């Protein structure tokens, strides 16, 4: 299984480029950026303005994962 791309640390421009690589319009990257950073949503299925096909692509190829912090 290939590693999924973590979208959390990407800039607006990087998200736009990533969506282009998935054969999507660049504005989709801006929508995802807003969901993550302005609304705090990290579940693609909750991003209601993306459409089923794009959500399927994102679930297959991407994650939104907050780094784990360990205590010593």
Residues 29-52: tens digit of each pLDDT: 999 999 999 999 999 999 999 999
Instruction: Indicate yes or no: pTM above 0.85.
Output: yes
Which DSSP letter does residue 2 get? Answer: P
Give the structural domain span for 20.
Answer: 5-63
Q: Which helix (H) or strand (E) holds 43?
A: none
44 belongs to a structural domain = yes
Q: What is the pLDDT of residue 2?
A: 74
72 belongs to a structural domain = no
68 belongs to a structural domain = no
53 belongs to a structural domain = yes
Q: Domain holding 36: CATH number?
A: 1.10.150.530
34 belongs to a structural domain = yes
Taking the C-alpha atoms of residue 71 and residue 52, their distance in angstroms, rounded to an integer, is 39
**Token pair recorded at residue 39:** 């609304």
Q: What is the pLDDT of residue 44?
A: 98
In total, how many domains does the chain have? 1
Mean pLDDT of the chain: 94
């Amino acid at each position: 299984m290939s590693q999924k791309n973590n979208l959390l640390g990407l800039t607006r421009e990087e998200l736009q480029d990533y969506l282009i690589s998935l054969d999507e319009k660049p504005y989709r990257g801006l929508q995802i950026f807003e969901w993550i950073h302005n609304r705090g949503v990290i579940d693609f299925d909750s991003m209601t303005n993306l459409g089923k096909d794009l959500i399927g692509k994102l679930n297959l190829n991407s994650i939104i994962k907050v780094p784990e912090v360990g205590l010593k």
